[in-house]
Structure 1
Amino acid sequence: MDNFDVSVIVPVYNCEEYIGTTLDSIINQDFKNFEVIVIDDGSTDRSLEIINEKLSKSLISHQIIHQENSGVSSARNAGISKATGKYLVFIDGDDYVTGNHLSELYNGKSDFSLVQFIKKDGDRLSTPYHFSREFMSCEDFIKKELNMEMPFTFCQLMYKTSIIKDNGIKFNPDLVYGEDIDFALRALIYGDEVTISNEATYYYLQHPQSAINTSEFRRFEVIEIFEGIADFYKSKGRDDLANLVITSRIPKAIFGNMNYFFYNGYDFDRVLNKMKELDLLTKLSRYEGDSKFKSKIRLFLLSPKIYYKTWKKLKNSID
């Protein structure tokens, strides 16, 4: 069996428009000792044909797994089970990376390492976040994420394979939205340190078919996911982190998704009724933290309709 430093896991479902670019970006890495594991999740377009064509012509060690359509979580789990590298990297089949992605991530020592990402929406590019330090404890990293003090997506991280496999960490196949942050926040609790690079090497494509754009009110399901993470942290004796989930991450997720629906033209009554159905107003009221954000929540809870009307007038100035 080859001893690879890194296993790159690429789930694919009907990505014929993007997967060629994705694989080219992986094949052309300046890092050499890695394998690529592509999981075709029952694509009905030309994705599998393109995958076979690209990888058969490359010198990169690779595995191609074909399965019946079971969802991205199942596909990633299949990739993890086949991975032989010391570290795991995840790249979605409609994203791409720069040629130094793996070399920026890999040092062979840290439990986790991080690069920055750029959201690409047509010709529009987001500004990557900049960290002021090169290392951070996993605990501090978790707290920073739970306080939403930084933009974060799970694909920024390189994960030590032994942490993932020894602790049985998997993506939850029942989740449509938020399975990635669930995976990352559970994995990070087992590590000591995150090595940080400020190089932006991951390009995260936004398009109408993205799960984040097609999940309707299922975006609110992330609240239940975070409640599960809080229970998980409690089971590990980390009541402090569990409390941070309840008093910071959940209220911010509720408020952020609510404003997402408003911004995208969803009917006010539909959004509010869904929030009441899920008891999100109570969960929103538990916020503890920044006084400015707390004031926004209080204004909304005092009169959701007035908040909404004010938001419509001033939406460019209200986060």
Structure 2
Amino acid sequence: MYNTGDVTVICIAFNHEKWIEKALVSVLFQEYENRRLIVVDNGSSDQSAQIIRNWVENNAEKLPVSAIYKSKPEPYCQLFNDVLAQVETEYVVDLSGDDFLYPHHVLLSVKKLQEEPDASFLFSDATILEESGDSSSFYQPGQYKEIEKIILNGELYETLIRRNFISAPSVVFRTAILKANGGYDATLSYEDFDIQLRLARNNPVVFSGHIGVLKRKHSDSLSAGQYQIHKSRMLPSTLKVCGKIASMNTSERENQALKERILYELKHAVWSANFEVAKGFVELGKKLKMNGFEFFFYKCWLLLKVDISWLYARLI
């Protein structure tokens, strides 16, 4: 049995010395009493581990907290799953060491989840902070009604196939459902696209119209190298998830959404000269009987392997 109403925040840091203390403080200052923290330094080469040690020593009496220190970096998804296995609370939050939670986030999220006992997770709005210091909301003004309509009409799964629709740091999972679905796919380099789809396929999802987290965008983050020229770490995982989607889909509308996603990822794969993974997207597209000029164009580009990634690097 899970501790009803309790929340565990899993905070994994890797070379986050600039931000990790703010992330930990944001857990401490949550306006929700029944929370605990597991913080992991994933083999950082900077001062992150020492900052975590000092913070835990000074704050262990203020909230239940445990710390794990890895001697060398481990794959994120597997590491998260290893920590998730220890979680005995009803809800769990995956907090990166370079982000932070606004004080009301856990309280408002739990209240909403308690109203929807079958929901697999909740998501909310987020502040996106650029390296330049500029910030914006993840969702545009007036978009909340659209989100609620998509969920009400049962179209969230299809929407997630088409586009990046949920800010991952805002998600609060129901632990039992996350574990029942195997947690994150440990074979992937990143987690959010896959886990959101798998949970939304078979379980209700809820949205809360509050800004719950601050998400930092910076050049050292994994997502910044999503379409890294020649050797993207993320594109092979995206291809694998698209293959999963093909097996999960049950309607032509969902297959059309997948075709749109494949075309988008294929475009970036050839532009960034990730030709091997581009070949995988083409093969998947053929299985779905994709056609049209744009798909044909990228197939020809792949056949010729014209490398203009230098131009792509300037444009993105």
TM-score, length-scaled by structure 1: 0.76
Q: Secondary structure of 1:86's match?
A: strand
Question: 1:58-82, CA deviations, whole angstroms, 9 ceiling, x for partnerless residues?
Answer: 3121221233421211221122111
Q: Is the 8 A contact 1:4 1:84 kept in 2?
A: no
Does the C-alpha gap of structure 1 residues 275 and 62 become closer, same or farther in structure 2, counting only changes over 3 Å? closer
Deviation at 1:38, TM superposition (A): 1.2
Does the C-alpha gap of structure 1 residues 41 and 199 become closer, same or farther in structure 2, counting only changes over 3 Å? same
Q: Which residue of 2 aligns with 1:81?
A: 85
Does the C-alpha gap of structure 1 residues 297 and 159 become closer, same or farther in structure 2, counting only changes over 3 Å? same
Deviation at 1:160, TM superposition (A): 0.9
Percent of matched pairs sharing the same residue: 17
Q: Is the 8 A contact 1:7 1:36 kept in 2?
A: yes
After superposition, residues 1-319 of structure 1 pair within 5 angstroms as 5-58=6-59, 59-68=62-71, 69-107=73-111, 108-110=114-116, 111=119, 112-122=121-131, 123-129=133-139, 130-132=143-145, 134=148, 136=151, 139-148=154-163, 151-167=165-181, 169-176=182-189, 178-192=190-204, 194-214=205-225, 216=228, 217-218=231-232, 219-230=234-245, 233=248, 238=250, 243-244=255-256, 246-256=258-268, 261=272, 271=273, 273-274=275-276, 278-281=279-282, 283=284
Q: Is the 8 A contact 1:55 1:62 kept in 2?
A: yes
Amino acid at match of 1:226: V
Does the C-alpha gap of structure 1 residues 66 and 140 become closer, same or farther in structure 2, counting only changes over 3 Å? same
Does the C-alpha gap of structure 1 residues 170 and 184 become closer, same or farther in structure 2, counting only changes over 3 Å? same
Q: Is the 8 A contact 1:25 1:99 kept in 2?
A: yes
Question: 1:266-318, CA deviations, whole angstroms, 9 ceiling, x for partnerless residues?
Answer: xxxxx274565x243455676979xxxx776566667799xx99xx7xx99xx
Q: Secondary structure of 1:126's match?
A: strand
Does the C-alpha gap of structure 1 residues 95 and 241 become closer, same or farther in structure 2, counting only changes over 3 Å? farther
For structure 1, which segment, 6-15 or 243-252, has the greater mean C-alpha deviation from structure 2 after superposition? 243-252
CA distance in 2, matches of 1:50, 1:138: 46
Q: Secondary structure of 2:89's match?
A: coil
CA distance in 2, matches of 1:22, 1:161: 21
Aligned Cα root-mean-square deviation (Å): 3.5
Does the C-alpha gap of structure 1 residues 78 and 155 become closer, same or farther in structure 2, counting only changes over 3 Å? same
Amino acid at match of 2:137: T
User: Number of paired residues?
Assistant: 291
CA distance in 2, matches of 1:65, 1:72: 14
Deviation at 1:174, TM superposition (A): 3.1
Stretches of structure 1 that go unaligned for 5 or more consecutive residues are 262-270
Question: 1:86-142, CA deviations, whole angstroms, 9 ceiling, x for partnerless residues?
Answer: 111111111112111212321223312111123222212233213205472594211
Question: 1:161-194, CA deviations, whole angstroms, 9 ceiling, x for partnerless residues?
Answer: 1111233x22233322x332112222223312x2
TM-score, length-scaled by structure 2: 0.76
